[in-house]
Amino acid sequence: MVATPASPASPASPASSKAPVTARPLHAAPVPVARPSAADMLSVAEPVFEIADLEVYYGKFRAVRNVNMTIRKHQITAFIGPSGCGKTTVLRCMNRMNDLVAGARVGGTLRYHGVDLYDPQVSATEVRRRIGMVFQKPNPFPKSIYDNVAYGPRLSGIRDRAKLDEIVETSLRAAALWDEVKDRLRDSALGMSGGQQQRLCIARTVAVEPEVVLMDEPCSALDPIATARIEELMRELVSRFTIVIVTHNMQQAARVSDTTAFFTAELDPSADRRCGLLVEFGATSKLFSNPQDERTENYITGRFG
């Protein structure tokens, strides 16, 4: 499927555009469901994000344009493309992290379960509790391993010791880290290796039970073994979460993702600067074996980028 301006998210029926303001389905708790078989999932799974004509500005500079896509539940969606094509920018819009950048502005619509994420009534804090993020560089807090994982649950008011212990254990298990750290939960997280720190960051994100986990090049600072562990982890986690991953590594996208979005950067005639745009969006197997757009084909075959 080649992205065209009028693709998936546009059926803006009166119901879906009106309902969010009053009903606020943002408060609905994410319910884990069994994963349907890979074949029927691609088009059948419930849409989580519907993005239409998204564009992002930093001050006067337009960083990315023409982003149209539908991200579905319990899938791994990979964003690939050369540097400066706006992958990370789009990802950071999806949980309002771009709010923290002075001068960042968003155009078009970005709906999360039908709610416009940039509606003035939507609280960025509420959004981020449902849509977690793992960053490029492992960034554990300078606290103990336990307190790193317990930080999110404590934010939502969980004080009960036994409950916290349980959350910490299940989260660390989910991140395949429990066996390595169970005897030193009180040690500083800064004493861990890079790969362990990144898995701790995943555990910390998982601990708040988000519905979506956004990953911004989570393996770029890790060695191949740590990378393999995290990829394996992503395949396990996708049964509980919806995952969006930005990666520079095409093999990684091909290995782990169900759906792939290819971005590129082209000269923006109006600003005389390069501006990112979405070129192609579709099932990973199809995008890599039979790309519809020449630019995609050039990139994945290594003729460009």
Stretch that binds other proteins, among 81-89, 143-151, 223-231, 289-297 (CB under 8 A): 143-151
Kindly tell me which of 100 and 225 has the beta carbon lying closer to other proteins: 100
What SS3 class is residue 91? Answer: helix
The single residue among 7, 50, 80, 147 that binds other proteins, judged by CB under 8 A, is 147
Kindly tell me which of 146 and 281 has the beta carbon lying closer to other proteins: 146
Closest separation in Å from C-beta 146 to other proteins: 10
Phi and psi dihedrals of 170, rounded to 5? Answer: -65, -35
| Per-position x/- string for 42-71, each x denoting binding to other proteins as judged by CB under 8 A, each - no binding | ------------------------------
Kindly tell me which of 60 and 186 has the beta carbon lying closer to other proteins: 186
Give residues 149-188 in contact with other proteins (rule: CB under 8 A): 151-152, 155-156
Q: Is residue 134 packed enough to be buried (19+ CB in 10 Å), middle (13-18) or exposed (0-12)?
A: buried
Closest separation in Å from C-beta 218 to other proteins: 13
CA atoms of 72 and 76, how far apart (whole Å): 9
Residue 28 binds to other proteins (criterion: CB under 8 A) = no
Strand order in the sheet with 131-134: 115-116, 104-112, 47-58, 61-72, 273-283, 259-268, 76-80, 242-246, 212-216, 131-134
Kindly tell me which of 68 and 205 has the beta carbon lying closer to other proteins: 205
CA atoms of 40 and 36, how far apart (whole Å): 7
Closest separation in Å from C-beta 54 to other proteins: 20
Give residues 182-221 in contact with other proteins (rule: CB under 8 A): 201, 204-205, 208
Kindly tell me which of 55 and 216 has the beta carbon lying closer to other proteins: 216
Closest CA to 204 of 222, 189, 226, 183: 189
Give residues 123-142 in contact with other proteins (rule: CB under 8 A): 124-126, 128-129, 132-133, 135, 137, 139-142
CA atoms of 246 and 79, how far apart (whole Å): 5
Kindly tell me which of 151 and 178 has the beta carbon lying closer to other proteins: 151
How many chain residues are in contact with other proteins, going by CB under 8 A?
A: 27
CA atoms of 4 and 205, how far apart (whole Å): 33
Kindly tell me which of 11 and 103 has the beta carbon lying closer to other proteins: 103
Closest separation in Å from C-beta 274 to other proteins: 25
Cβ atoms of residues 48 and 289 within 8 Å: no
Closest separation in Å from C-beta 93 to other proteins: 13
Tokens, residue 163? 């409950």
Kindly tell me which of 94 and 278 has the beta carbon lying closer to other proteins: 94
Closest CA to 79 of 195, 175, 239, 218: 218
Q: Is residue 192 packed enough to be buried (19+ CB in 10 Å), middle (13-18) or exposed (0-12)?
A: buried
Cβ atoms of residues 189 and 144 within 8 Å: yes
Determine the number of helices (DSSP H) and then strands (DSSP E) in the chain: 12, 10
Closest separation in Å from C-beta 283 to other proteins: 29
Where on the chain is the footprint of other proteins (CB under 8 A)? 95, 97, 100, 124-126, 128-129, 132-133, 135, 137, 139-144, 147, 151-152, 155-156, 201, 204-205, 208
